[in-house]
Structure 1
Amino acid sequence: MDATHHAHLVLQRLPRAGASARARLVEHFGSAQRVLEQSAPDLAPWLEAEAREALADYQDHLSRSALGEQVQRDRDWLAQHPDVQLLALEEDAYPPLLKEIRRAPPLLYVRGDLTALSLPQLAVVGSRNPSTGGRDNARQFSAFLAARGFAITSGLALGVDGFAHAGALDAEGVTLGVMGTGIDRVYPARHRRLADQMLAQGGALISEFPLGLGPQASHFPQRNRIISGLCGGTLVVEAALKSGSLITARFALQQNREVFAIPGSIHNPLARGCHRLIREGATLVETARDIVEQLGGYLGYQGELFADESAASELPGLNDEERAVVKALGYDPQDLDSLAQHSNLDVGTLSAHLVGLQLKGVVSETASGFVRVASGSG
């Protein structure tokens, strides 16, 4: 381990010294190593007394200090896990877009392929309890975008995050997970297999938190600035008005990145956050192609590869009666009786068509009734 990484590990283990304080120190003194050379009085404007005392003890006793012993444990763990690498803010390999944000994380732990961080990335975020349509959109939009060259970046959380990662994997694309825990912890635990699949397919897991740190509520808004900071744009699939996804979107706006939002039913509370973002200037998107067209320069993707599809191909593989059922269904849930009235079909005939449409993946049955599954893919 080089001196730069060691210095950052020391600073990271200082008590009561968060990422913002450490970023200010590195910015002011030029490097983590230079920070360690400063006397405790010189650091008074940036560090609280407890942190200054711990650093002074380290400067006097090095590996025999409490701070030195903890850093040695971190180094031992890293030596035993060569798949985890450190990236310091001063290094050329540090993601350039992330380096641009205010108070960029001074130190990143990266498990997986470092080159994944240099790919053009799009953040896909949303509710942890999405609707059926939200799940489908997250997965299908992500698959489409991953197939066109975007790495899909999200937070490895339940809900939209997990479906976004899965969609990228469906398309044999690359996906990155930014964690709200130490790199040695996967949260939630049920996503361990998903995390393994992401790594096996050339992706990466990223954390700015110390080893061994478990999930805490304050970590996730902090994590969100990294999600948006790594990416040229952020897509919000579904979000309530009070949502961590809106925090990510606002970080993206502050970082001068593009924000996209998928509109939804006015009756869906999970659409209200997206609608607010659209009113505030986010780009309304109906298909994943809308995003590729807007971020074409960022991606370096040639637009002529997208052949325009006619409106008639919107529902391929359906007969005329099935198309009529889908048209009558619209975009809000309907029960069987309401749909029979709107489609002018008897209940028996309608039921048979609905079974066929569910098998074709066009319609889904939920507790609220039958709903149309958005294609999402373009």
Structure 2
Amino acid sequence: MSETLARLRLARSEGVGPTYYRRLLERFGSARAAIAALSRHPERFRAASEADCAREMAATAEMGGRFLFLGEPDYPPLMALLPDAPPVLLTLGDHASLAPRAVAIVGARNASAAGRRVAEDLADELAGMGIVVISGMARGIDAAAHKGALNAKGRTIAAIAGGLDIAYPPENAMLQARIADQGGLLITEAPLGTAPQARHFPRRNRIIAGLALGVVVVEAMEKSGTLITARLALDYGRELYAVPGSPADPRARGSNDLIRQGAHLCENAADVLEFLPQAPAAAPLFRPRPKPAEHPEPPPEAPEEAGSDAAQVLELLSTTPISVDELARRCQLSAPSLRAILFDFELEGRVQTLPGDRVALS
């Protein structure tokens, strides 16, 4: 099994989310070694089928798609900085669109004609200046933003909620194909054949916010999905902009409220560029260990003989949460050694990790 196939299996495994995927690779150094470790705990983890993942890779390659894995050089650097960065991304189109100088334009699906015009004109301006325009391929503002970038013969990225082979909404099928064919890029976490469902869209929104240096909101109702993207942008430390709208239009209440809370007022591309930072020069925070030998031995079980470090840590733990820093002081172990022991305990279901970097017996 290749390391690439193993990474896809690990990403598709039950019980392995974005944060746990990152921790597994940091702990074991490769997906193959991580799967070997997980296989010792079938009651808690079920690795994805090697055959199913091989078929997914072959089908994606057949349609011209690619896989981008967290921790590898071609993974988008801005996305890699996120604490919940997707373990794997599937793409179709030109990867030059993943240049970090990008701005997202998002907004209401039932947008007004004026709102669509603003989004299209803004995307046209930004794309003409070499800025990549990102949006979510939805009706209304998203579609207008993609069209504006294409009209300027610029680059645009469509973050979609389903598989690369599913056009959603159906009326955007031609636009989706046009993006992939004319220098843009389609990007998703979902395997081929995945039909978009309501639960997929918040995950799609984090891709939009994660790829962009700034997010522009054009029309958003209160408690709308667009505001989820705006909140994610703030959580990720990205610049947030909003286009003002009429107080009489409920579609502008969410965007107007963002301005009241401190978002940059945006009417044109100059307003965006005034606050848009340069792309981060630092490499991604996540660096996996060097790949092991071709046929690595499974990591050994954590030793628990009397007097061992693991036994000492276990003796100090209880069902009452304790911070990892406090535990390190009590057992006098280095932080990396302690975290390795705790991670093995967590794999075995003995320890649970709690908010605030605390641990307790399960």
TM range (shorter): 0.7 to 0.9
For residues 226-241 of structure 1, the aligned pairs below 5 Å read 226-241=207-222
For residues 1-378 of structure 1, the aligned pairs below 5 Å read 3-15=2-14, 17-41=16-40, 49=43, 52=45, 54-55=46-47, 67-81=49-63, 83-295=64-276, 297-298=278-279
How far apart, CA to CA, are the structure 2 residues paired with 1:293 and 1:39?
Answer: 49
Deviates more, 1:162-171 or 1:2-11: 2-11
Number of aligned residues = 281
How far apart, CA to CA, are the structure 1 residues paired with 2:26 and 2:237?
Answer: 21
The corresponding residue for 1:312 is none
How far apart, CA to CA, are the structure 2 residues paired with 1:113 and 1:285?
Answer: 29
Deviates more, 1:256-265 or 1:72-81: 72-81
TM-score (norm 1): 0.70
How far apart, CA to CA, are the structure 2 residues paired with 1:176 and 1:297?
Answer: 19
**Shift of the alpha carbon at 1:149?**
1.1
**Shift of the alpha carbon at 1:24?**
4.2
1:305-350 CA-partner distances (Å, limit 9, x unpaired):
xxxxxxxxxxxxxxxxxxxxxxxxxxxxxxxxxxxxxxxxxxxxxx
How far apart, CA to CA, are the structure 1 residues paired with 2:254 and 2:215?
Answer: 14
Higher relative contact order (CA 8 A, sep 6+): 2
Calculate the aligned-residue CA RMSD, in Å: 2.2
1:44-95 CA-partner distances (Å, limit 9, x unpaired):
8xxxx36x2x33xx7xxxxxxxx123123213313422x2111110211111
How far apart, CA to CA, are the structure 1 residues paired with 2:201 and 2:19?
Answer: 15
How far apart, CA to CA, are the structure 1 residues paired with 2:28 and 2:253?
Answer: 44
Equivalent residues of 1:24, 1:103 under 8 A apart: no
How far apart, CA to CA, are the structure 2 residues paired with 1:114 and 1:290?
Answer: 27
Equivalent residues of 1:31, 1:90 under 8 A apart: no
Query: Structure 2 stretches of 5 or more lacking a match?
Result: 281-362
**Shift of the alpha carbon at 1:152?**
0.4
How far apart, CA to CA, are the structure 2 residues paired with 1:26 and 1:177?
Answer: 29
1:102-128 CA-partner distances (Å, limit 9, x unpaired):
110111111011121124110000000
Equivalent residues of 2:156, 2:184 under 8 A apart: yes
Equivalent residues of 2:205, 2:228 under 8 A apart: yes
Relative to structure 1, the CA distance from residue 261 to residue 27 in structure 2 (aligned partners, 3 Å threshold; closer, same or farther) is farther
Query: Structure 1 stretches of 5 or more lacking a match?
Result: 59-66, 300-378
**Shift of the alpha carbon at 1:31?**
3.7
Q: Which has the higher helix share?
A: 1
2:37 is paired with a residue whose SS is: coil
Letter of the structure 2 residue corresponding to residue 9 of structure 1: L
Letter of the structure 1 residue corresponding to residue 62 of structure 2: Q
The corresponding residue for 2:330 is none
Larger Rg: 1
How far apart, CA to CA, are the structure 2 residues paired with 1:94 and 1:141?
Answer: 28
How far apart, CA to CA, are the structure 2 residues paired with 1:258 and 1:115?
Answer: 23
How far apart, CA to CA, are the structure 2 residues paired with 1:23 and 1:285?
Answer: 36
Relative to structure 1, the CA distance from residue 71 to residue 172 in structure 2 (aligned partners, 3 Å threshold; closer, same or farther) is same
Identity over the aligned pairs, expressed in percent?
41
